[in-house]
Amino acid sequence: MTPSTTEPTLTRLADGRELFYYDEHPGSGRDSFADKRDLPPRSTAAQLRHDVLRDEWVAVAAARQTRPVLPATNRCPLCPSTDDNLTEIPAPSYDVAVFENRFPSFGGRTAADPHQPHPPAAGRCEVVCFTSDHGSSFAELSPTRARLVLDAQIDRTAKLSRRDDIEQVFCFENRGEEIGVTLHHPHGQIYGFPYVAPDLAKMLAVARRHRDNGGGNLFAETLAAERAEGTRIVATGEHWTAFVPVAARWPFEVHLYPHTRAADLTELPGGYRDSFAPVYLDVLRRFDALFDSPLPYISAWYQGPVRADRDLSYTHLRLFSIRRAPGKLKYLAGSESAMGAFVNDVPPEEAARMLREAL
């Protein structure tokens, strides 16, 4: 694995959770600020329950019912702490901060209970704050700050991958109330899954079958086909291509692929790390320019599992919005929610054209 170029500063919150500061300029001294809150004991771990009909795991995390939902700006728990608002970030300012989620879907206390029929949900959930500016967004970050966020994701991927209770590291961002965001502050999350998530497992199974039948790497072939066809390309750089996939499920869906295979973010060469931010920021700004308003979206890194199928894996980012037109959202129909049979109202070629012309 290629090491991250950024080493964080570690401190601890009042209940013992870890907080990492990633700084554009080292030596900020942010770790000297202590968490002054009187916090209750940390939440117990969620349970893992096995759906035998799907052969999939479901986490049951009752403690998440008490997490904050859309607090007032002056009570935001992701802003820097002030005398009037003690938050998850004790320092009065920060560049990028990563901390253990206080209301995790996985992790917390993970000791097995012999009296419980279901195992605890091991793993880890972290929050990634992109900036201390509450009113900003990822699209408004500078390329330097966006690179720092990527460095933080790479560093956390490397360190979480060393844990024996984590099988996949998933970095993602949800933006917009329509998506279900509960905090407006610009932030993402990192899940250390104790299993390989169903969608990734399915894609890798298809890629394995393709290779076993005489094909090459299915992800690399998909990128090559999109670059050759050309009509669905949205943006390109020296090392990255952003395109609308030929069978996009969502009205506006863009995949960003590096031009070389990496099983996860830690394997991206340095030049690829440097050149990611300009292409990604360009796509995000096209999203927001599309209907002259911030588009709700989910942005998700598809990294290979920690231990399995790394030779098949091809890390890439998938970005999609549920908005299909001004004032109109795509709600999942019964066939989509119940059967996973998607219908897209916007032809992928049209979506790509609209995004290319948005700026």
In the block, tokens 């009065």 appear at 92
301 vs 119: CA distance, rounded Å: 27
Choose, from 25, 187, 239, 316, the residue flagged as catalytic. Answer: 187
Contact, 272 vs 287, CB < 8 A?
no
Is 316 part of any known ligand binding site?
no
Task: Quote the CA–CA distance of 226 and 47 in Å, as a whole number.
Answer: 41
Residue 134 annotated in ligand binding:
yes
Beta strands in the chain (DSSP E): 9-12, 18-22, 47-51, 56-60, 96-100, 124-129, 168-175, 187-193, 233-236, 240-243, 252-258, 297-302, 316-321, 323-325, 328-329
**Residue 171 is labelled as binding a ligand:** no
Give the neighbor-by-neighbor strand order of the sheet with 18-22. Answer: 9-12, 18-22, 96-100, 124-129, 187-193, 168-175, 297-302, 316-321, 252-258, 240-243, 233-236
How is residue 354 written in tokens? 């609209």
One-letter-per-residue 3-state SS of 55-79: CEEEEECHHHHHCCCCCCHHHCCCC
Whole-angstrom distance, CA of residue 125 vs CA of residue 160 = 10
DSSP letter at 124 equals E
Is residue 187 among the annotated active site residues?
A: yes
Distance CA 20, CA 26 (A): 13
Q: Taking a C-beta distance cutoff of 8 angstroms, is the pair 39, 120 a contact? A: no
Residues in the chain: 359
**Which residues are catalytically annotated?**
187
Binding-site residue set for Zn(2+): 76, 79, 134, 185
Binding-site residue set: 76, 79, 134, 185
